[in-house]
Homo-oligomer: A and B are copies of this chain.
Amino acid sequence: MKFKPQHMQQVQQSLKQLGPARRPNIGADERAATIAAVASRLFLQYGYKGVSLESIIAESGGSYRDLYSAFGGKERLFETVLKRMCTEVLAPLKKALANPSLEALPLEEALTHVGHVVLTTILKPEAVAFHRLMVSEAPRIPEVAKFFFSHGPESANALLGSFLAKRVSKTGCALEDPHIAAAIFLDGLINNLQLKVLTGGRVSPAEVTLRVKHVVRLFLHGMLRFTEGK
C-alpha cells in the first residue's frame, strides 16, 4: 500500500528505458523469478500449507495477478518451484560423485572424500529443509517425488556404483553387486545423522569426520577386522 506505487513506477521507467520492442516480458520474467525465489525460501521454511500467497507477494513485490499469470495458482507454483529445487540441491552431490579426479586416488581416500562431500552437502540446512519438504508433500506431488528419488538418491547410487565397479575390476577384486554396495555405503553415512538434524538435533563437523572414517573402514574391511587390520 505504501511503497508499492513508487516501486511500480521504477519498474515502468526501466521498461521505458529498454525501448518499446518488448514491453512487458522482461519485467514479467524478472518478477516471476523473484516470486519463485521467495516462494522457494518460504515453502522450505514453513511447508506448503504454512505459506500464504499473500506472504509471498509481500516479499517479492508485484501482486496476485503476477503470480497467477506466471504460475497459475498455488499448487502449480509449488510443483514448479520444488522441481527446480531438485536439481539445484543435488547438483554438488552429483558433481562430487562424477569427479574424474577420483580415479587417481587410492580407494580409501576416494571413498573418504566422497563420503565427506556427500555428508556435508546432505546436512546443510537448506538440504535438510528440502528433504523435509519433499517427504512431507510427497503425497501431494507424486510425480515430483518420483523425479526426486530417481534423480537424487538413485542417481547417486548409480554413479558411485559404477565407480566402484570400475575400480574393483581394475584391482582384480570382484564385487557381487556394486549398486547395492554403493547404496549401503551412502545410507550408512546419511540416515542417522540426517534424521538427527531433521528432529532438531545438531551434528558437529567432528561427528561427520568420525562417521565417514568408520563407514569407510567398515566398508573396506568389515566389522570384525577393525582392530586386526589396524
Contacts and interface: CB of A to CB of B under 8 A. Distances in A.
Given A187-B187, A192-B157, A226 B134 contact: no
Interface residues of A, number: 57
Interface in A125-175: 131-132, 134-136, 138-139, 142, 145-146, 148-149, 153, 157, 164, 168, 173-175
Interface in A172-230: 173-177, 180-181, 183-192, 195-196, 198-201, 210-211, 214-215, 218-228
A47 interface: yes
A87 to B, nearest CB: 16
A50 interface: yes
A50 B49 contact: yes
The A contact surface, by secondary structure, is: helix
Nearest to A143: B200
Contacts of A198: 135, 138, 145
Given A190-B191, A214-B180, A227-B174, A201 B49 contact: no
A142 B200 contact: yes
Number of copies: 2
B184 A226 contact: no
B174 A226 contact: yes
Contacts of A138: 132, 198-200
Contacts of A177: 214
A220 B139 CA distance: 38
A122 to B, nearest CB: 11
A221 B142 CA distance: 39
Contact of A149 (B201, B214, B222, B226): B201
Contacts of A196: 149, 153
Contacts of A135: 131-132, 135-136, 195, 198-199
A183 to B, nearest CB: 5
A139 B228 CA distance: 44
A199 to B, nearest CB: 4
Given A49-B49, A131-B135, A180-B211, 18 more contacts: A135-B135, A138-B198, A138-B199, A146-B199, A149-B201, A153-B192, A153-B195, A153-B196, A168-B224, A173-B224, A180-B214, A184-B188, A184-B218, A185-B188, A186-B192, A187-B189, A187-B191, A219-B222
